[in-house]
């Protein structure tokens, strides 16, 4: 029979744990709310940028009239021999299966990519500590570059035949690690990353750029996606290659957690703002262009990639907080269950002890 | 017709300004543009500089670094890569950025990207100027 004192001690420890998980849940809920707001606040900019690009497309001859090929290097498709994968995970754990799910998908993505074309090279950029740790255990880090041309803004077309040949550490290698940038997602970071990605793309080191992250439209609408950033097939269209919806059960849990934490489940109404943003740059009037449209186009296109990365980061952060909130809600419920069953065991043990004592007294009295 | 136009300034992270303005001065890539209600439709890229606008008889200034703008007769929308109100500017950081950029420009190191350093210097100086008008 378990010692009453031991059980009592365990109950106390579980109560303490429950307090912590509860606090973590509240914190995550508050952070989620903020992340949701900032993701929402960032929408008009993306929308407007997309619109301007779209309306410019009709004015600029992006496609060469003779060959029918796109003129801008970022729009040109070429055989994907080397691809870059940007993996967005969280910096911290205790968020249920959030990081695991993304990393599972990454593994699947890499396996599939290599399977379809065995001599393909994959470069990986990790954003978030958890993803970095996972990738480091599996894949080597790329050898140090000798030329520090990375990150330069000078975008020059690739000279034919001058393919950059860099020593590789392996078929799949880690080329970049970004840890601790998710606490406060800055547009600057996204922009710097996109500039370096674009530079590598235009130099011909990579032929395709994909980003894997947890999409977050609302607490209800979340999924894991692999999107293609480069080359751009069609402006304003998201090019999703792989997507995984959460299971129904998982979604139910999320909704429950969100309700108990007082976070809105449905996306806030943004239709008015979206509508206003959709009008940007598309009025049926003849604009005066201060710069030639193709120059504007050249300038805006790289920003478009930057803002897409920025959005992916914002959404991933929101999703991470939502996942943590759900996990902590479940943990709190589990702790409560455990306390209940332990209390029951303790009461039973105490009753058994009392009964035993009474029997001893009674039988002692009867013996005299 | 009313003598104001709708001015909206949007940055990647938020909608910064939404106001009925009487006039605005905006740093276009080819020089400053003065805009009054009823301006002809125009699209332009923005340079690094200061946006000044007048709304409700008060003049506001903002530091802006790259963006672009759509002008319609009754509405002006600015998409700015970075835009800050005077009170939001981190003077210390701007000063540091200025010093750093100046140092780079002075050094004769061939590795320095002069264009980038110049841009950085200009941004820092604009920020410092705007911050003074607080």
Q: What whole-number distance in Å separates Cα of residue A194 and Cα of residue A215? A: 19
Q: What whole-number distance in Å separates Cα of residue A304 and Cα of residue A47? A: 10
Q: Is the dihedral of CA B40, B41, B44, B49 positive or negative?
A: positive
CB of A49 within 8 Å of a chain B CB? The answer is yes
CB of B12 within 8 Å of a chain A CB? The answer is yes
ipTM reported for the complex, 2 dp: 0.76
pTM of the prediction? Answer: 0.81
- The answer to whether B70 and A296 are in contact (CB under 8 A) is no
Please report, for chain B, the start and end positions of each structural domain, with discontinuous segments joined by +.
5-84, 90-132
The residues pairing with B83 across neighbouring beta strands, listed in sequence order, are: B64
Set of chain A residues whose Cβ sits within 8 Å of the Cβ of B113: 152
Question: B90-132 has which CATH code?
Answer: 1.20.5.440
User: Would the CB atoms of B43 and A290 count as touching at under 8 Å?
Assistant: yes
Q: Which domains does chain A have, with CATH numbers?
A: 10-283+295-333 (3.40.1380.10)
Q: What whole-number distance in Å separates Cα of residue A53 and Cα of residue A297? A: 7
- The answer to whether B82 and B49 are in contact (CB under 8 A) is no
Homologous superfamily (CATH) for B5-84? F0F1 ATP synthase delta/epsilon subunit, N-terminal (2.60.15.10)
One pLDDT digit (tens) per residue for chain A, 368 residues = 568 899 999 999 999 999 999 999 999 999 999 888 888 888 888 888 888 787 777 776 666 666 666 667 787 778 888 889 999 999 888 888 889 999 999 998 898 888 888 788 889 999 999 999 999 888 888 876 544 444 443 444 444 444 445 677 778 888 888 888 888 777 888 888 988 898 888 888 888 899 999 988 777 778 888 888 888 877 766 767 777 777 777 777 777 777 777 666 665 555 556 666 666 656 566 777 877 877 788 888 888 888 889 989 999 999 999 999 999 999 999 999 999 999 999 999 999 999 999 999 999 998 87
The residues pairing with A230 across neighbouring beta strands, listed in sequence order, are: A209
Set of chain A residues whose Cβ sits within 8 Å of the Cβ of B11: 45, 187
- The answer to whether B56 and B1 are in contact (CB under 8 A) is no
H helices present in A42-167, as ranges: 43-59, 98-116, 129-138
């Amino acid at each position: 029979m378990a010692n009453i004192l031991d059980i009592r001690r365990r109950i106390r420890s579980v109560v303490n744990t429950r307090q912590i998980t509860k606090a973590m849940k509240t914190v995550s809920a508050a952070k989620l709310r903020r992340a949701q707001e900032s993701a929402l606040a960032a929408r008009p900019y993306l929308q407007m940028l997309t619109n301007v690009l779209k309306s410019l497309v009709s004015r600029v001859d992006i496609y060469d009239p003779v060959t029918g090929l796109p003129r801008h290097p970022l729009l040109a498709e070429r055989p994907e021999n080397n691809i870059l994968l940007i993996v967005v995970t969280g910096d911290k754990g205790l968020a249920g299966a959030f990081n695991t799910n993304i990393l599972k998908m990454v593994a699947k993505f890499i396996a599939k990519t290599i399977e379809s074309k065995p001599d393909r090279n994959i470069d990986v950029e990790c954003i978030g500590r958890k993803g970095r740790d996972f990738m480091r255990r599996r894949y080597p880090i790329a050898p140090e570059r000798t030329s520090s041309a990375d990150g330069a803004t000078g975008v020059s077309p690739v000279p034919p035949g001058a393919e950059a040949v860099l020593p590789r550490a392996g078929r799949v290698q880690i080329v970049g690690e970004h840890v601790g940038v998710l606490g406060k997602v800055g547009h600057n970071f996204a922009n710097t990353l996109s500039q370096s990605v674009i530079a590598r793309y235009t130099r011909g080191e990579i032929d395709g750029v994909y980003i894997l992250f947890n999409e977050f439209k609302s607490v209800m609408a979340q999924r894991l996606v692999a999107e293609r950033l480069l080359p751009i097939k069609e402006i304003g269209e998201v090019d999703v290659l792989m997507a995984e919806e959460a299971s129904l059960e998982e979604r139910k849990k999320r909704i429950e957690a969100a309700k108990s934490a007082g976070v809105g489940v449905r996306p806030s109404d943004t239709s008015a703002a979206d509508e206003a943003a959709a009008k940007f740059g598309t009025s049926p009037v003849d604009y005066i262009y201060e710069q030639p449209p193709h120059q504007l186009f050249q300038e805006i296109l790289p920003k478009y990639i930057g803002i897409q990365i920025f959005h992916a980061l914002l959404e991933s952060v929101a999703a991470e907080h939502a996942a943590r909130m759900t996990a902590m809600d479940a943990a709190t419920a589990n702790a409560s269950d455990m306390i209940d069953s332990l209390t029951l065991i303790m009461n039973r043990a105490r009753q058994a002890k009392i009964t035993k004592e009474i029997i001893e007294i009674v039988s002692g009295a009867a013996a005299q | 017709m009313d003598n104001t136009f709708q001015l909206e300034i949007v940055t990647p992270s938020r909608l910064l300004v939404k106001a009925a303005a009487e006039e605005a001065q905006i740093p276009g890539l080819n020089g400053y543009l003065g805009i009054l209600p009823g301006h002809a439709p125009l699209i332009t890229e923005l340079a690094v500089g200061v946006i000044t606008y007048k709304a409700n008889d008060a003049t506001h200034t903002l530091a802006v670094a790259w963006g672009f703008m759509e002008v319609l007769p009754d509405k002006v929308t600015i998409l700015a890569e970075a835009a800050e109100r005077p009170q939001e500017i981190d003077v210390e950081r701007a000063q540091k950025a200025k010093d750093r950029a100046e140092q780079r420009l002075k050094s004769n190191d061939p590795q320095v990207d002069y264009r980038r350093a110049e841009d950085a210097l200009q941004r820092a100086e604009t920020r410092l100027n705007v911050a003074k008008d607080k």
